[in-house]
Structures are given as C-alpha cells and as structure tokens.
Chain A
Amino acid sequence: MDRIDPALEDIELELFVRALRQRHGYDFGHYAPASLRRRVRQLVQTHGTGTISALTGRLLHEPEFVFTVIEGLSVPVSDMFRDPPVFRALREQVLPLLASWPRINIWQAGCASGQEVYSLAILLEEEGLYERCQIYATDFNPAALRRAQEGIYPARAAQAWSRNYLEAGGRHSLADYYSARYEFIKLDQRLRRNVSFANHNLVTDKVFCEAQLVLCRNVLIYFANPLQDRVLGLFRDSLVRGGFLCLGLRESLEFAPSGADFTALDANLRIYRRNVFTAPDGKA
C-alpha cells in the first residue's frame, strides 16, 4: 500500500491546475478542492500515470489530451427530470408566468449530455410555449455537448426517467418522445429545433443573452464560494428583472453576496427570481 504524502500531492495538484490554466485556458483554481482532488486522482488511475505530475506532463505535451482531462473533470452526470418536484414546479408555477413574455429565452448552463435540455423541451411543448422559446444549452465539455446534440442514452435509464416524467406531471408517456433501438434510446430530434448548443465556460466567459429563465442545476455545487458568487452574478446580469433562476436541490445562495439579488419563489425547490430593483452591476 503506497503511503500518500499530502504535502507533495498538493504541490502536484497546484502545478496541474496551473498547467491547465496557462496552457489551455481552463481555470479550475476556484473549484471545490475535495471533489477536484478526487477527480484528478481518478484521472491518474484511469490513465495509469502513477502521479499527478505525469498527468501534467501529458497535458503539456499532448495537444488532444486536454479534452480527455476536461471530460474527466467535468462530471457530466445527469438524468431526465431529476428531482421531479422541481420539474413539476417549473411546469405549474414558472411556465405560466413565463407565458407573459412574447419571446422567451432560456439559458441552461452546465447542460451535460442534454438530459435536462430534452426534459425542459418536453415541458415547454406540453404547456404550449415551445414555439415562443429559444433555449441556449451550454457546457464547457465538448464531448458532453456532442452527446447532448445526439440525444442518445442507454435504454436502461428509460424506466427511471419515465417514472420521473410522470411524477413531474407528464401528460403522455415519455416513450412518445423517444425511439428505442437495441440498448439505446434516441430522443425525438424535433425537441431541439429551438435549441442552440454552445460551448461556454462559466469561469471565463461572459453574458451572451438576455434570459427569462436560467436553469443551472448541480454545477455550482462544484464551485468554491467566490466562484459561486461570480457565476450567480453572471446569471443575474443575464436575467431580465423578475426572471427566474433554478438551481440544484442542495445548492443555495447563502454563501454568495450576489444571492441578495434574488428572491425565493420556492426556497425548498431552489427556484428564485431576480429582484426587480437591482442594477445590473448588483448595487441596489
């Protein structure tokens, strides 16, 4: 059993993060450290490099390796209609209010492999709002974005997702929205006719649209407090006054000063509205 020298590992991790930033422009310096450390150790294991330093070496010298690293660090784990009560509340409480805007822009940040994009598109279809919507689905993991565009998922997930869909108030059967082939299901590609998939890094990229709803679930959970604050500021500046923000069920605004610019619509389900009386720079 190897002994781990924590001080040494810290140095290696720091150099790895620095290489990723300086060489490739991906900044993980403000991610929650425990989880990041775990992902990096997993990369070491998967690629059999033995040490983080050897991983850093590959990162610096093999141009394509950075995408493998991003895929490894990004945790593109998702489900359709994960946390059904949230999607039910979106359907029953948020969409009727969104309906008052003639055009509706929705930003889904950290969309992973697209499960939530298709979930949202189904909600909008069933509530008759889809044609008025433009959905921007973004992530910084290009491989995940490609999977999101294809909408192909393992069939073994379908059963749980169907249950979620019904619990979220689904009006039909989830099977109406996908075709099953062998071990896979493919989501109806008409669901993405108003979806633009784009690469966007929440750490380094800026506001790019004016949105009525921002959906960003289980992404902030990976960010340390200062980065959470920055990203919440980005959401605030993207949202119209009174626009909606939906976070993951265990995420909260309490550690970020920018949180003060939002008011809970349903605190338990982490659905908020941008305050009407805040200037875009956050000063009331």
Chain B
Amino acid sequence: MIGCSAGGLGALKPLLRALTPPLPLPVIVCSHSAEPGTGLLVPLLARHARLPVREARERWPVEAGIIHLAPPGYHLLIERDRCFAYSVDEPVHYSRPSIDVLFESAADAYGAGLAGVMLTGASPDGAQGLARIRQAGGLAIVQDPADALAPTMPQAALDQAGADHCLPLARIAPLLNELAHCA
C-alpha cells in the first residue's frame, strides 16, 4: 500500500521497477497525480514496473502480484472481503483519491497484514491513514523526509503516525521484496 503526491512519479518509477516478480502480495498505489485529466498514469507506470500495472477495478478483488492504481477523481477503498470500492465523497486535503481514505479502509480490511508506505508529497494526506494502519497492527514505512523531493507528506506521517522504518527511497523496494517473501 503506497501513497504519494508531489514528486511522487519520480519516486514511484524506481520503486516499482525494483519490486521483483513474482510478488506474492498485492501492491496498491494512491498517487495524487491521479487527479482527473491524467488518465495516463497506468501506461506511464506500466513502462517502469516489472509487475503488471492496472487501475483498481470497482468491486473486483485485490489480486496478488499486481500493482493496482487508485482511479482519478474517486476515492479508493478496500472492503473487508478485500474487494475494491469507490466513492465520490468530498476530497480529503483537497485530494480525491485520498491516501487517508485508502489507508484507513485497508487497515480495517487487512489489520496486521499490511504495510503502508508514505513517499514524497506536499500534502498532509495519508498521515492519519498511516496512524490507522499502525493502530491495527500494520507496518509503517516512511521515506526519509531528507531524501524526499517534497518532505511535507513524509514529515506529517512521522509526526502523526511515527514509523517502523524511515528509509531513503532506494532502500524501500528491497524491504518490500523481503517482507513480501516472508509474509
């Protein structure tokens, strides 16, 4: 479960490229670059990732080994039965999709079996969601603000949620690969 905003594309490309197939877990990405009018995110990231990249489909199950992207203009949520749900609730911190909304519902659905990753971004969105993930027993991984193009988001996450791992970008994918294979 990955959230990012400003500078997120630059961070997502190398991160997703470094995730090695076959990955026995699903990856879900909520990027604020998925605001309306930019339906190009899927093909863009697909060129960089070694795993298949798809837009999360409303009501369809979350699938392992696939990178699911939140849709532009809608909030993405995970139901307890681990299917995707959409909503058009108000934007959160001016964003729809919102990382808070995704992370909070994912924490409900996955409990301790979840890692939330916060990357670069210029918004406080996601911090509360990450706190929720930790409360539910999940793992919080935050990009070191010093290493982030826009430090606001990872810093807000550290302040509000704390982190189990605070790492430079280059070390996040290896950690995820490792976690996936010992989950």
Contact = CB atoms under 8 A, between A and B. Distances in A.
Interface of A: 1-4, 6, 32-35, 37-39, 75, 77, 218, 221-222, 225, 248, 250-252, 255
Given A38-B77, A38-B101, A1 B135 contact: yes
* Interface SS majority for chain B: mixed
Interface of B: 58-59, 71, 74, 77-80, 85-90, 101, 104-105, 108-109, 111, 131-132, 134-136
Contact of B77 (A34, A77, A255): A34
A210 to B, nearest CB: 29
Given A38-B89, A218-B88, A221-B87, 15 more contacts: A1-B135, A4-B132, A32-B85, A34-B78, A34-B80, A34-B105, A38-B77, A75-B89, A75-B90, A77-B89, A221-B86, A221-B88, A250-B58, A250-B71, A255-B59
7 closest cross-chain pairs (CB), A and B: A34-B77, A34-B105, A35-B87, A218-B88, A34-B79, A32-B85, A34-B85
A80 B36 CA distance: 15
Given A6-B108, A6-B111, A35 B89 contact: yes
A34 B71 CA distance: 17
Contacts of B90: 75, 77
Contacts of A77: 88-90
23 contacts: A1-B135, A3-B135, A4-B136, A6-B136, A32-B85, A33-B80, A34-B78, A34-B85, A35-B77, A35-B89, A37-B108, A38-B87, A75-B90, A77-B88, A77-B89, A77-B90, A221-B58, A221-B85, A221-B87, A248-B88, A250-B71, A250-B74, A251-B58
A19 to B, nearest CB: 22
Nearest to A225: B59
A38 B136 contact: no
Nearest to A33: B79
B104 A38 contact: yes
A163 to B, nearest CB: 11
A35 B85 contact: yes
B2 to A, nearest CB: 19
Nearest to B90: A77
A177 to B, nearest CB: 23
A226 to B, nearest CB: 12
A255 B74 CA distance: 19
